[in-house]
Structure formats: structure tokens, C-alpha cells
Amino acid sequence: MHVEAPQQILLLLIILFPLGGAIINGLLGRYMAKGLVTLVGVGSVALSFALAVVSFVELYGLRHESETATLVYHFYEWFSLKLPSGNVVAVNVRFVMDSLSGVMTLIVTGVGGLIHLYSIGYMGDDEGYPRFMSFLNLFMASMLILVLGSSMPVMFVGWEGVGLCSYLLIGFWFENRDYAAAGRKAFVVNRIGDFGVLIGMFILVGVAGSFEFADINSAAMAGEFRPDFPVWLLGVAPSLATVACVFLFLGCTGKSAQIPLYIWLPDAMAGPTPVSALIHAATMVTAGVYLCCRLSPLFITSDVAMSIIAVTGTLTALLAASIAVVQREMKKILAYSTVSQLGFMFAAVGVGAFAAGFFHVFTHAFFKACLFLGAGSVMHAVHAHGDADIFKLGGLRKALPITRLTFLASCLAIAGFPLTSGFFSKDEILLGAAAQIFRPDDMLMTSVGWFTLIGLTLAAVMTAFYMFRLYFLTFTGEYRSADQSGDHPYDAHPHESPPAMTIPLVVLAVGALTVGFLGLPHVVPIIGTHLSDYSWWGHWMEASVAGQPVPEQMYIVNLASGLAFGAMAIGISAAWVLYRNKSTDALAEKMPARLYQLAFDKWRVDELYAATIVNPIKNVAVVAGRADMTFVDAVMTKLPSFNVREAGRILARLQNGVVHVYGAVVVVGVVAVLAWFWTPHSRIEAAFEGTRVELTTPQGLGYEYRWDANSDGEFETQWKGTPGTTFEYGHDDMRGIAVFLKNTHSGIEHRIDVTDEWMPLPIESVVPAEFLSPRDTGFEVRIDGEFLLFRKAHARTKLSGMKEIRLPMGKSGRLGPARVSSRPLVEATLEVRNAFGNTRRATKEIALPFGFEAPTHASLTRPAHEVVR
């Protein structure tokens, strides 16, 4: 049973509070006291979090009544559009909180709130503090629209909104050209992904006939995405689901920084540290994972797309981790760590462990936000700007005890130390990969499972290693910037950060250590006890997220957790040996120099993209710019303006100011007008009413008219002021026969000249040859007295002379798509007289649309002219 609570206005308010905060701080912030800016900025998010908790509790309560309970707020119908199929699809601004979006809302508002709190301390002294708070609030609102939107378009509004805020906040210190460039890079790279989301969205709505996630998912479960995609790609026919999922995943690689579009995220660290923590670690970059989970019933129907996602995620995890191992700067290491962890999440999605992937989103939000904020705390302490080189730090555990402890807790969590949150989530991911290996009789799944399991294990080893390398180099040993003699840019006397910064650190660190218990595994390794009652997470997520079944065989469970534990142990031990209390990069000394340099240069991926994609596009842009300047601007803009200007220069000479010239022009004009009026002007128009012909002419001022309707030299009417007359023509008035060919479809009509010699009938002049059948062509025509004769030219010899067809005057005959008609011709004459007494004659040949009764030879009666008026 589906339980829907009444309209949940709270869902709207959750979004409106940060949005209002953004508007107030954005428009008025610069005129407000700093305390008020803080109150609006942080207070709105805190309120939003409180409402999110209230909604979540209500949702939790409803779950006891129904497994699929959701909270819904229908705001209004945004627009509707008509599909090619004829269905009208309404796009509603509608917000839904189910188990998935509920958890995500809590993460966004909760972690977001803590980071807002932290920003008071970190950004409080910056000139752009109100602007910062406004952007941060706008981000919260966009992210909440993304999460709570019930349909693809609404989600896409949020999707673009967070992209915009990301751009604004990366380039927050836009005076620095590099930072502004980093923001631009993030935006442009994300546009490529957004294109994929749009295409995916169109495929989804085309098949499912709805933009709502719920409808798309039920269509996917009903198998509507199973049929082949109508366009064949590379000789194979992928299913609709595969194509849609691949395009959507392209969007996810942009937003969530996966191969091939991950390159923007490390550069995004140019933004202030709270931004890195909130947008580029905890929330926005997980939007791709969220989208995959949201549409998990769709994704799971395409093995091909899932394999692509799993392999891409694993490769990203490995690549990013390998870069992070050799970097020297805190935020850069954390940035690559984020890319790597996002790779873990996508690998989980790809092996069908959606709940595990999203669990990692959840735990990662805590420890990665804590790590970034810890890095920010360190940078704040040593007055580092932009980023901090860990080889110039060290020994900070004495100066920064709270930061150090929280940082350590988060390092343990991300490394997967037993019973921390990362331990549980990473375990679940590896378990999902291992389960894939043992799916029976599926080569693709088995090989993807092996690849993912081994790849992720290696990445986990590197994760534990680089995190503890970072920890040991920063917090153990001696402080290397203590004596200011050498090249040490940092403050000699670091100090612990204010409470506004340390409180969020502590809360996040506690979360990083404990939230894992929400997702206790179904089967505990080694012991083997079934604890499925305790897997709160899996049970909670079941309602809205599909997935492969979680395996319960002991050997799979033991394999996965053994690998996870081993990876953690190896990584931490290696870091302990190489870096604890050390000040030099021992790994770099042991590695081959060129390999180290290559890894330090991030495998030169940016350079590869520059050479293969960016520079060719730039060159095209240069060429296009030249074309614009030389063709559009010159030929199409400057040339016409030149023409107009020169023509004006010449014509301006006429306005020479001499009054005689003007007067002469007036006189010439007056004479011309007089000359035109000197003789009358007229033309004849004929209209047919039965057998009567109405002859008219446009009326002129002071004109008089008389008609000789049959042009026999005798005027039927006297001079009179009204122009029209009516006449009934008789057989004697006829002057000949006019033959017309008409295309009955288009209405095109041609008069043709026919004599009394045989000539081909030019039917092709009104009907294109391809519409003619052989029956309609090859006719010859001639006039025989008052008849039109037709014959088939080549039929003459085969058949006797009876093949001639006679068409009487005034009748018409059909020839396929054409109609041929024969009409009697008469001539009307009009004489016009104007006020000057001048006359003029007009004559007109009229083809009557009806025939006359031909007088028989026996009959001597002739129809007399009928004089009207």
C-alpha cells in the first residue's frame, strides 16, 4: 500500500530558507552588519536542517505503516509539453522525500550547516563575506532542489544551479586569474556532462512518457527500456536502457568528477576551503551517485552500462589515488582523494551495490568534509594562502590538538580502520564487487567483478597510504617552518583555530567514527552471525533503491573484508615506516625519477586534453573569429553601411538649399501628375454568374463609361457614370477557342495555344512527369471547328481512327491529375471618358467557363444579343 501524507509544506520551506538567505545576503548583505549576515546565512541553513530532521522523523514514522511511504509537496505545474506520440506531459514543480532523498537532505543540510558555521571563522575577515554567504546559501537551495525534485527537469534545475554556484565559488577570489580560470574550467567541463544528462532525459521521457522519477523507474521495472535503441551504433544494437544510462553517466562523470571529465575537480580547490569541503567533497560531487541511485531500477536493466560505470569508477579510483600518493599540497591530495573515493562509489553503483555506494556517499560526507575543514584549519593556523605544502609543515599536533585529533579520526575512517564509518562502507563496496564475480554463467559480470575487486583493493591500499602520509607529514615530527631563515612561507607560531571552526571539526569527526554503525553488514565476517536485523541502512534504502542481492556466502564475505582490512593495514604500515616523524619524501627517493615526475604531473592528462581537444577547438575558434571579422563584420556589416553612406552622400547633393531647384522639382511633379490624369486609365474585369457575365472596371473620379461587350462595334450602353454592366454572350460573339490545362491538386492553370494542326498536348507543363502514368501522356490535340480533338499519338497505327476523342466547347475532360478544358473566347470593349473630354478604349479577351449550344445546320435561328441596360 502506498501511503501519502498530506501536502508537506515543510519540504518547500527546507528549500526556501536558504534561498531567502541567498537573496537577502546577496542584495543587502553589503549594507548589513557582519553579525546579521552571519545570522541570515547560518540561521537559514540551521532552520532548514531542523525542518529536514522534522520531515525525516515523520517519514521514519510513516515507514512503519508502509514500506514505500513518501512525503510529497506539489507546488505548481511548471509547464507541459506535447510528445511526438501525442501525449501531453506535465512538468510539475513537486518535491518528494523518500528514504533516499531523505538521507541526502540530512547530509546536505547537516554537513552544510556545519560548514556554514565553520565559514564564520574561516571567511569572517574576508571582504566578500556577505557574497560568500549568499553563494553558499544559493548552493544549498540548488542542491536541495536537486535532491528533493521529483522529476528530471526539476532535478536538472538544481543540477545546473549547483554547477553555477560551484563556478561562482571556485572563482570567488576572481582577482586571481588562475582561480577565475579554474572556475571557468569547472563550468565548461560540466557543460559537456550536462549535454549527456539532457540527452538521457529526452530518451527517458520518450520511452516512459513522463519526467517523474517514480514513473521512469516503474517503466524500467516493467521492461519498457529493454527494446533496442532505434539507431544502431557501431554495428551493434544497444538497448534503450544502455543508451539512456550511458548518456546519464556522461553527466555523472562531469558532475562527479570521473574519467574522462574529472580534470576540473583538482583545479576547483582554488576556491575557499569551506567550498572545497561542502561542494567539492561532501555534496555536489555526489550528485552523480545520487542520480544513479535515484534511477537504479533503470540502470540495473542494462548490464553493458553498469559494466561501463564499474570499470570507469575503478579506473578513476586507481588513477586519482596514484596521483594523490605523490602530491605535496594538502588540498590537492584531498582533491584527488575525493576523485578516488567518488570512483569507489561509482564502482559500487556499477556492480549493482547501489545502497553500498550511497552508504559511502553518506560516510564520505563526514570524513572528507572533516579532512577538508581540518586542512583549512591548518592553513588558517599557519597563514597559508591557497594551499599548504606538507613538506613545510610538520609537528602540528602540539599546536593544533583538536584539529590533529579530528584529522586523525577522519584519516582512520577514510583508510577503512575497523569499526570506523569508512570501514563499513568500503567493505560493502568490495562485497558488492566480490558478489559480482560469483554471479553464475555471466562472463561479462565475472570479469567486471574481478577487475573491480582487484582495482578497488589496490586503490584502498593507496588511499590508506596517502592519507597517512599526509597525516604524518603534517602532524608528526618537527615544525619545519619554525625557523624563518630558509624558504618557509608559513607563520612560525601556528595557533589553534577559533571554536566556530573546531566545533564543526569535532562533530564531523565523531560522525566519521560512528555513522558506520548505521550500516552494519548483514553477515559479519569470520563469525558468520546473521545480523540482518541490524542492517538499518540496507533495510532503509530498499524502498527507493534497487540493487543486486547482497551475498550471504561466508567465503565471499571473508574475501571482501579480508581484502579491505589487508589494504588498510598495508597502506597505514607503509606510511608509518616511510613518513612517521620524517621530513623528506622517502617514496619519491625510492621511485624512479621519471615515474615520480609523471605521477606528480598528474600523468599529464591536462596536457593530453590540451593537445587533443582544447587546442584544436581554440584553433577553430581563432579561424571562426577571423571569419567573423573578415566576412560577417566586413562583408555583411561594413559593406552595406558603406553603400548606404555613399548613396546618401550622392543623394544629399540634391538638397542644395537653392529654392529654385526645389520649386522646379515641384513643378515637374505637378506636370507629371497632370499628364497622367489627362487621359483616362482603365482595365476590364469579368465575373461569371451562370451564363451571365458581369463586366466591371475600377471607378475613376469624373469618368464616364460605355460598353461594347461583344466588340461588334455597336455600344450596348450609353455614356454613364457607373462602371459596370452585365451581358449574356451568344454563339455569334465567339471569336475562337481557348484551351486550358489545370493541375487539379495544386490549382495551377496554363492556357495553351492549340491550332487546327495536330500537336502534342503539353501536360508536363502543369504536372511533373513523375506523377503521370503512361495512360495520361502521349496525347495529341487539335481544334476542329468547335470541337477539341484528342488522340493517342502512338496508338494511331495499332487501332483504328475511332481512337479520337471529341471534346465539345465549354466542356472539360480529365487526364490523370490534370484537367483539360475548352472554352469559348469572346472580347469585351470599354470606352472611358474623363473630365477633360479625352477618351480611351480598353479591350479584353474573356474565356468563358461555359459553352454555347452550337446551332445545328438545320436551324437558322441564331441567338440574338441581349442588351442589358
Residue 657 binds to other proteins (criterion: CB under 8 A) = yes
Instruction: Tell me how far, at minimum, the Cβ of 674 lies from other proteins, in Å.
Output: 11
Half-sphere exposure of 697 (CA within 13 A, CB side): 27
Cell numbers describing residue 707: 460598353
Residue written as grid cell 550622392: 650
CA trace torsion 40, 43, 49, 53 (10° rounding): -130
Is 653 a residue that touches other proteins (CB under 8 A)? yes
As a whole number of angstroms, the distance between CA 215 and CA 207 comes to 11
Judge if the upstream peptide bond of residue 260 is cis by omega within 30 degrees of 0.
yes
- The residues, any chain, with a CB within 8 Å of residue 207's CB and separated by 6 or more, are 219, 224, 225, 240, 244
Output the smallest distance, CB 648 to other proteins, in A. Answer: 9
CB 118 within 8 A of CB 274: yes
User: Under the criterion CB under 8 A, does residue 652 sit at the interface with other proteins?
Assistant: yes
Pick the closer one to other proteins by CB: 60 or 678: 678
Q: Which among 68-76, 485-493, 650-658, 823-831 is the span making contact with other proteins, rule CB under 8 A? A: 650-658
Min. distance of Cβ 645 from other proteins in angstroms? 13
Shortest CB 79 distance to other proteins, Å: 55
Question: Closer to other proteins at the Cβ: 641 or 655?
Answer: 655
Q: How far is the CB of 676 from other proteins (least distance, A)?
A: 18
- Grid cell digits, residue 705: 463609361
The per-type count for the chain, helices as H runs and strands as E runs, is 27, 15
Smallest gap, in angstroms, from Cβ of residue 658 to other proteins?
6
Beta-carbon contacts of 314 under 8 Å, excluding residues fewer than 6 positions away, are 343, 347, 350, 451, 452, 455, 456, 459
Question: CB under 8 A: which stretch of 54-62, 298-306, 481-489, 651-659 binds other proteins?
Answer: 651-659
CB of 717 to other proteins, least distance (A): 27
Q: Which is nearer to other proteins, 177 or 653 (CB)?
A: 653
Q: If you search the block for the grid coordinates 506520440, which residue do you land on?
A: 85
Instruction: Quote the least distance from Cβ 187 to other proteins, whole Å.
Output: 53
How many positions of this chain bind other proteins (CB under 8 A)?
11
CB nearer to other proteins: give 222 or 664: 664
| Buried/exposed code over 358-377 (b: 16+ C-beta within 10 A; e: otherwise) | bbbbbbbbbbbbbbbbbbbb
Of the listed pieces 33-41, 271-279, 381-389, 649-657, which binds other proteins according to CB under 8 A? 649-657
The separation between CA 773 and the C-alpha centre of its own chain, rounded to angstroms, equals 50
For residue 204, give the nearest of 196, 216, 222 by alpha carbon: 216
Is 656 an interacting residue with respect to other proteins (CB under 8 A)? yes
Identify the sign of the CA torsion 102, 107, 110, 116: negative
Nearer to other proteins among residue 639 and residue 674 (C-beta)? 674
Q: Which cell numbers in the block locate residue 677?
A: 490624369
Least Cβ distance, residue 638 to other proteins (angstroms): 23
Nearest approach in angstroms of CB 653 to other proteins is 7
Does residue 645 touch other proteins according to CB under 8 A?
A: no
Handedness of CA 395, 398, 402, 406 (dihedral sign): positive
Is 232 or 836 the residue whose CB approaches other proteins more closely?
836
Tell me how far, at minimum, the Cβ of 671 lies from other proteins, in Å. Answer: 10
Residue 718's Cα: distance from chain center in Å? 77
Out of 485, 529, 655, 755, the only residue in the binding site for other proteins (CB under 8 A) is: 655
Degrees to nearest 5, angle at CA 581 with 577 and 583: 100
Q: Which is nearer to other proteins, 527 or 654 (CB)?
A: 654
Minimal distance in Å, beta carbon 668 to other proteins?
11
Q: Are 341 and 360 in contact (CB under 8 A)?
A: yes
Determine if 798 is a binding residue for other proteins (CB under 8 A). Answer: no
Distance of CA 851 to the CA centre of its chain: 66
The smaller minimum CB distance to other proteins, of residues 222 and 666, is found at 666
Give the shortest CB-641-to-other proteins separation in angstroms: 19
* Nearest residue (CB) to other proteins, 485 versus 655: 655
Cα separation, 271 vs 279, in Å, equals: 10
Q: Collect all residues with Cβ–Cβ distance below 8 Å to 793 and sequence separation of at least 6.
A: 760, 778, 779, 780
Q: Which residue in the block uniquely carries the three cell numbers 555536489? A: 284
Percentages helix, strand, coil for the chain, rounded to the nearest 5? Answer: 60, 15, 30
Nearer to other proteins, 526 or 666 (CB): 666
Q: What are phi and psi of 564, to 5 degrees?
A: -60, -45
Q: Please, which residue, 662 or 771, has the CB nearer to other proteins? A: 662
Neighbours of 154 (CB within 10 A): 24
Is 620 an interacting residue with respect to other proteins (CB under 8 A)? no
Q: How far is the CB of 614 from other proteins (least distance, A)?
A: 54
Query: Which among 57-65, 434-442, 444-452, 653-661 is the span making contact with other proteins, rule CB under 8 A?
Result: 653-661
**Of 613 and 666, which has the nearer Cβ to other proteins?**
666
CA-closest candidate to residue 750, choices 763, 759, 736: 763
Shorter beta-carbon distance to other proteins: residue 616 or 663: 663
Q: What CA–CA distance (Å, rounded) separates 124 from 376? A: 14
443 vs 659 by CB, closer to other proteins: 659
Piece in contact with other proteins (CB under 8 A), picked from 459-467, 522-530, 634-642, 658-666: 658-666
CB of 839 to other proteins, least distance (A): 19
Q: Which of 659, 858, 860, 864 binds other proteins (CB under 8 A)?
A: 659
Residues 660-679 that bind other proteins (CB under 8 A): 660, 663-664, 667
Kindly tell me which of 624 and 835 has the beta carbon lying closer to other proteins: 835
Report, in Å, the least distance between residue 649 CB and other proteins. Answer: 9
838 near other proteins, rule: CB under 8 A:
no
| Minimum CB distance to other proteins smaller for 660 or for 857 | 660
Q: How far apart are CA 376 and CA 407, in angstroms?
A: 11
Binding of residue 835 to other proteins (CB under 8 A):
no
At its nearest, how many Å lie between other proteins and the CB of residue 678? 14
User: CB atoms < 10 A from the CB of 650, how many?
Assistant: 8
The b-or-e profile of 45-84 (16+ CB within 10 A means b, else e) is bbbbbebbeebbebbeebbeeeebbbbbbeeeeeeeeeee
What is the smallest separation between the CB atom of 710 and other proteins, expressed in angstroms? Answer: 37
When the beta carbons of 231 and 651 are compared against other proteins, the nearer one is 651
Question: Cα separation of 747 and 711, whole Å?
Answer: 31
Q: DSSP secondary structure string, 24-66?
A: HHHHHGGGS-HHHHHHHHHHHHHHHHHHHHHHHHHHHHHHHH-
The end-to-end CA distance of the chain, in Å, is 90
Among 405-413, 659-667, 704-712, 730-738, which window interacts with other proteins (CB under 8 A)? 659-667
Binding residues among 391-430 for other proteins as defined by CB under 8 A = none
Nearer to other proteins, 206 or 663 (CB): 663
Q: Which DSSP category does 636 fall into?
A: I
* Among positions 1, 527, 593, 658, the unique one binding other proteins when judged by CB under 8 A: 658
Grid coordinates standing for 377? 584549519
Interface residues with other proteins (CB under 8 A)?
A: 652-653, 655-660, 663-664, 667
